[in-house]
Amino acid sequence: MTTYNAPVEEMMFLFNNLKDNKNYNEIEKFKEINSDLVKDILEQAAKINQEVVHPLAKIGDENPCIYENGIVRSPPGFKEAYARFINDGWTSLSCDPKYGGQGMPKTVSTFFEEMLSSASLSFKLYSELSIGAYNCILHHADEKIKDVFLPKIVEGKWSGTMCLTESQCGTDLGLIKTKAVKQKDSSFLLTGQKIFITSGDHDLTENIIHLVLAKIPGGPDGTKGISLFLVPKFNVNNDGSIGARNGVNTLSIESKMGIKGSPTCVLNFDNAKGFLIGQENKGLSSMFTMMNLERIIVGIQGLGISETAYQNSLAYAKERKQGKSNNNKDNKTDEIIKHADIRRSLLNMKSIIEGQRSLAFWLSQQIDVSLNHTNDEIRKSADDLVSLITPVVKSFFTDMGTEITNEAIQIFGGYGYTKDQGIEQLYRDNRITPIYEGTNSVQAIDLVFRKVLNNKILSNFISIIKNEIKEKNGKSELQRFSKILENNIKLLEEFAKWLEDKNKDGKDDVSSACNDFLKVLGYISLAYSWFKITKVSLDKLGENKNFYEEKINTANYYYDKILPRVEAHYKSAKTGSDYIMKAKFN
């Protein structure tokens, strides 16, 4: 079984030193969120995740959800843990106080999302979609629906799901067949089937609120005819109490590679009563409020699982003895952490994880600004940056999660391949993250065609990095990093220009390069994060020499050993798609 210790010190380092977004610091309601308060929250979060949630990871994997007689039962211990989880108020952390929430900013709740992902992704998935449903209802539903449903979701007594996928369509939602027929009382009756519904049915909450995409007969074809509906598992009476069972039933749950403690359901809607969210035929734009947030959170899942993989790999490397290192002087067998190649693997993990955590913190500030700043232009600018970096966080973090969990298995050797250590479970649990909420290839296509070729968001982000470089403090390490980062930014700009030129008459070239471009932007974004970390660390060396020297050393490793991957991706992309499209695949 794995162990997990929440990296509170690392998180507080970011909150105390890299909360440097001027617009974020202007948000009045967050000015009282001080360091002492955040540290207390994170320490309490660490306690419940380490002591209560983390033991459920192995339990859920060995005792998966059961579907019997039309009922989905959660693994042993999940009910008790969830009851404590909601009693302690964790579902309400980032929610509006108007509906019973604590009103914490994303700069705080993102750290908690990481902890939960590290502790047990299966357990996390029961509440994760609830927050997505909360945000969608909050931004698009009428006041009556908000007043009835949001307090219970915030409290955690009711959970939420997102019902998009059908057997004939995943990404191409214009092909959905679920229909919604309007009734005299303005409600709708929904009929159809949805698949791959995370936490679609379970026994942890009193009610489950499904947000369902469907088509109203007579509406436009394709995605323009999609509407969004709130469909509860149990109907809700006028006084807010739970009424009769609605026409929503679970047909089966999937037998999966990982996240076995979370039920992935096939749901059947048979004249299920639902309520329109937003406007008719505008459902996809409303659902994107939930989907975009969920994509960022999926990226954080990859980060969280990577952290657990790293912690356990490091502990094992300090104990496992094998062979003699090159500098061995006593002729005794050494711990494998003394071998250069193992240290390389560990630093690969460490440099990517800490860079990702910093980038996620930067992004969380942009999200808070986009949602809460009083100036419309500032909100829009922040929202554009969130739009640009969302596919990077979703795809890059989860792809790196696959790389890191794979490397963790390698460090453990044969023991990593067995179930006893729990390392192979981390790989299996993470493997869904590059797939759901839009596959990583879809994210890369979205990044290039919608965020890079059709607007100037990328140039705004590049300007932010260039301004950061200009403000360097003159230290030799930063001078070196500046030159490397400037060269990589030049390459990024050349890559974007190449895509723009090719898009005129070689769209296959562009499509085949999308994944490479996303990786390039991901690695450079982490280099930007490490530049900021190093600047702070150089200034604070006297306060905690060991901590900040380690930061500087890890930054140097990232710039010398990881960042050169950028050039390889660029060179590969520029070869185009000729051989790809000529392949016969006989």
Active site residues: 437
249 forms bridges with which residues in the sheet?
Answer: 268
Helix (H) / strand (E) containing 72: strand 71-73
Among 251, 179, 266, which Cα is nearest to 215's?
179
Contacts for 507 with CB less than 8 Å, ≥ 6 apart: none
- Show the tokens assigned to 569: 């991706």
- Tally of CB atoms within 10 A around 220: 12
- Show the tokens assigned to 572: 């590969």
Coil, helix or strand at residue 187: coil
Query: What does residue 340 show for φ and ψ, rounded to 5 degrees?
Result: -60, -40
Cα distance between residue 4 and residue 308, in whole Å: 6
Cα distance between residue 495 and residue 570, in whole Å: 7
Cα distance between residue 17 and residue 26, in whole Å: 17
- Show the tokens assigned to 529: 């994060």
Contacts for 87 with CB less than 8 Å, ≥ 6 apart: none
Residue with tokens 């739970």, as numbered in its chain: 242
Cα distance between residue 357 and residue 304, in whole Å: 9
Specify whether the CB–CB gap between 348 and 561 falls below 8 A. Answer: yes
Helix (H) / strand (E) containing 536: helix 507-539
Q: Kindly state the DSSP code that residue 451 receives in the 8-state scheme.
A: I
Specify whether the CB–CB gap between 480 and 543 falls below 8 A. Answer: no
Specify whether the CB–CB gap between 397 and 53 falls below 8 A. Answer: no
Tell me the three-class secondary structure of 455-485, residue by residue. CCHHHHHHHHHHHHHHCCCCCHHHHHHHHHH
- Tally of CB atoms within 10 A around 485: 23
Coil, helix or strand at residue 141: coil
Among 354, 445, 461, which Cα is nearest to 397's?
354
Residue with tokens 């698009």, as numbered in its chain: 140
- Amino acid present at 94: S
Cα distance between residue 570 and residue 192, in whole Å: 45
- Show the tokens assigned to 8: 């509170």
Contacts for 506 with CB less than 8 Å, ≥ 6 apart: 576, 577
Among 270, 565, 263, 258, which Cα is nearest to 434's?
258
Burial class (CB in 10 A: 0-12, 13-18, 19+), 319: exposed
